[in-house]
Amino acid sequence: MSIVYKEKEEQFHLHTRNTSYIIEVLEGRYPVHAYWGRKLRFTDRTGLVDLREVCSFSPNPLDSNKTLSFDTMPREYPDYGRSDYQSPALSITDSSGSHLIDPVYDSFRIEEGRSLPQGMPGCRLTADDGCDTLVLTLRDSILDLYIDLYYSVSEEYDVIIRRTEIRNCGNKPVTLNKVLSSTVDFYGDSDFEVMNLYGAWTRERQVSRIPIGRSGHLVDSKRGASSHEQNPFLALLRPETDEFSGDVYSMSLVYSGSFMAEAAVNSYGKTRMQIGLQEIDFQWQLEPSGSFTTPEALLVFSPDGLNGMSGIYHRLFRERLCPAPWSKRERPVLMNNWEATYFDFNEEKIKALIDEGHSLGMELFVLDDGWFGRRDSDASGLGDWFTNLQKLPGGLKSLSDYAHRKGMQFGLWFEPEMISPDSDLYRSHPDWCLHVPGRYRSEGRNQLVLDMGRQEIQDYLYGSIAAILSENGIDYVKWDMNRNITEAGSAALPSERQKETSHRYILGLYSLMDRLVNEFPEILFESCSGGGGRFDPGMLYYMPQTWTSDNTDSYERLFIQWGTSYLYPPVTMGAHVSEVPNHQVKRITPIETRGNAAMSANLGYELDLMKLLPEEREKVAKQVEFYKKIRRTIQFGDFIRLLPPSSDRGTAWMTVSDDGAEVLVFYFGHLLRPNDLGCRLKLRSLDTDRLYMTEDGEKYYGSELMYAGISLPPLDCDFDSRLIRLQAI
């Protein structure tokens, strides 16, 4: 049993394969956080948290016990206003205008398996995954408000999944101002560094790691999307933790909108780590009998460094977050026309690209932006989801038939959540976009954002997209989203509910995606938001892969894919070979290196194939052929980071197939250095006594590869790279 209730001690012990998490109820009232970390055994002992009386500046909530103050107490779900001066997990306003709440322990239940938060994505773990759920209920007796803390614990997947549900059983409405999904207090423990993934458009998920110090670290998005700027993830590491050893405590939020994550140490050395919905962008009117559910937070502890943490997320995301039909299904090598043509294409050009892609072994052609409405630039057409017959006189069907006849799949780009002011849709429904009456409607890329919380808008999008998908034999959809949210007001909500607009937007988006992916389970959906502006677990629940970044430069991609890999497995990352000079940074890198960077994830090509030189053509054909041989390992093997892009020796990572029989090592040199001896790269996770053979017939024992390392000769040119395939014999 992964959850044990110790009645006498009033403790809940949660155990995964490698982790324990312990909650104790103090004085029969206050659930406190006693422990999270390596799996351990306890004697039958109460008082796991040794509280002491402190000064009058830390007031006491009970007369009977002066050692109790929320200021020092490691709380399982902190509120605000009664001596807890750190960031609360919960903030409300009741009908009298007061924000006070006193949630005390009420009851608990343990359920087999788990249920997902209503209308939201989550991990599809069941009792068969050794998953049980503890629901710990707190209650404020004055408001008759219940707070259910959900903890799903999976032995097999080594994860604890938390979410919070608030139920209003009183007879007056309550306003929720902040409701986080998960919060953990580390009592008397502040020896941490804080890690998060930050960035911007075309430079997503860079790694930040800094000492926690004695102040707060806020990682958040207020953009109505999880964002390019911050990923919904936060980790606390011990200072000595590296890629291979040391403790990591992490939280990842299964949500695609504005969020916040925070780590802060208080004056008593208590570290609070939290994650959940962004507070500034949120409020919820909870009527009597109503309930509100937060998104879920995934809590992963690893004693085996950052690769240990990533391994847990990778398997969980691949097997229990992404849609089940795609958990083991190989992804096709695709060809996308965006950087090849931008908006400037016609039927003839597209057919020529299909021909060329097909002759090079590509398996899926993706027609990007510009095929619909009057869309010849980014200034018009979004919302008008009908084929532009001026550009494509034979319609989409003739193109998809053309690809299908060659044995290629055919995919299509959409940007469903947007509306161009210059569109038929906007002319008929000017109130369908997010806006505040009387105020300026800020455009981004000449477009406004649809109010996705409204049912009629979801229905319009469902109807038009479903018709195109079913009438035209579409095999793949790229779901884009190219601006962040402003003026988040809804014409359909009363004034007291306006601050619900952003969260309702995400719930509406989830509902629409849910309908479409269930209606078309055979279609491969790839999410995108100007590249990786919404690379988050929420999107992955519906769409099993994401376009990692609009930056296709193979050197920049090392940083982006390295950072992305902390949480997301290679099979979730779209990676394309593009032309040089690169369109984003003008850099010239070898075609081999562009291939190796893209082959580290889901390989695609996004360049004008007609312009390839004969020798490049040959190399591309070979890359595609080789990738098909190794893609099972790339897409479903265990990915391990070896050398970070910040290292002056180059960047390296490797993947080991699930049976251990194939090992792929990627090494990317950066700049050529004179008088260089090359690099010795030590591999990981091999079988010490097994013999491995390279493609050239060179044999090595696993111990040799791991402890002595493999020798890599000096680079031949700037941005040179190597891909070594080893097979166990």
* Residues contributing to the site for ligand DGJ (CB under 6 A): 338, 368-369, 413, 480, 482, 528, 530-531, 547, 550
Query: For residues 60 and 546, which CB has a smaller minimum distance to ligand DGJ in the complex?
Result: 546
Query: For residues 60 and 482, which CB has a smaller minimum distance to ligand DGJ in the complex?
Result: 482
Cβ neighbours, 10 Å, residue 387: 20
Taking the C-alpha atoms of residue 237 and residue 680, their distance in angstroms, rounded to an integer, is 28
Q: How far is the CB of 343 from ligand DGJ (least distance, A)?
A: 8
For the chain, the straight-line distance linking the first and the last C-alpha, in angstroms and rounded, comes to 40
Radius of gyration of the chain (CA): 27
Q: Show which residues are catalytic.
A: 480, 550
- What are the angstrom distances between the C-alpha of 375 and each of 335, 381, 403, 473? 21, 5, 23, 22
Tell me the residue number closest to ligand DGJ, measured at CB: 369
E strands present in 129-258: 131-140, 145-154, 159-168, 174-186, 193-198, 206-211, 216-221, 233-237, 248-253
Contact 704, 726 (CB under 8 A): no
Evaluate the CA torsion angle 262, 263, 269, 270 in order and state its sign: positive
Q: Where are the alpha helices (DSSP H) in 443-553?
A: 455-471, 501-519, 537-542
Query: For residues 174 and 461, which CB has a smaller minimum distance to ligand DGJ in the complex?
Result: 461
Beta bridge partners of 249: 236, 301
Taking the C-alpha atoms of residue 133 and residue 72, their distance in angstroms, rounded to an integer, is 28
Within 8 A by CB and 6+ apart from 76, the residues are 23, 31, 32, 33, 136, 149, 183, 185
Query: For residues 152 and 549, which CB has a smaller minimum distance to ligand DGJ in the complex?
Result: 549
Q: How far is the CB of 550 from ligand DGJ (least distance, A)?
A: 5
Q: How far is the CB of 339 from ligand DGJ (least distance, A)?
A: 8
Query: For residues 94 and 384, which CB has a smaller minimum distance to ligand DGJ in the complex?
Result: 384
Q: How far is the CB of 537 from ligand DGJ (least distance, A)?
A: 20
Q: Closest Cα to residue 506, out of 526, 531, 536, 532?
A: 536
Q: How far is the CB of 468 from ligand DGJ (least distance, A)?
A: 17
Per-residue tokens: 135: 């629901």
Taking the C-alpha atoms of residue 243 and residue 685, their distance in angstroms, rounded to an integer, is 13
Query: For residues 263 and 392, which CB has a smaller minimum distance to ligand DGJ in the complex?
Result: 392
Query: For residues 311 and 531, which CB has a smaller minimum distance to ligand DGJ in the complex?
Result: 531
Taking the C-alpha atoms of residue 355 and residue 377, their distance in angstroms, rounded to an integer, is 26
Query: For residues 264 and 539, which CB has a smaller minimum distance to ligand DGJ in the complex?
Result: 539
Q: Closest Cα to residue 545, out of 362, 326, 365?
A: 326
Query: For residues 146 and 345, which CB has a smaller minimum distance to ligand DGJ in the complex?
Result: 345
Query: For residues 79 and 368, which CB has a smaller minimum distance to ligand DGJ in the complex?
Result: 368
Q: How far is the CB of 412 from ligand DGJ (least distance, A)?
A: 11
Within 8 A by CB and 6+ apart from 373, the residues are 380, 381, 382, 383, 384, 385, 386, 388, 420, 423, 424
Taking the C-alpha atoms of residue 181 and residue 652, their distance in angstroms, rounded to an integer, is 35
Q: Closest Cα to residue 357, out of 333, 341, 330?
A: 333
The tally of CA atoms less than 13 A away on the side-chain side of residue 310 is 23
Amino acid at site 576: H
E strands present in 374-509: 409-414, 418-419, 448-449, 476-479
Taking the C-alpha atoms of residue 405 and residue 399, their distance in angstroms, rounded to an integer, is 10
SS (H, E, C) 538-582: HHHHHCCEEECECCCCHHHHHHHHHHHCCCCCHHHEEEEECCCCC
Residue with tokens 């892969």: 545
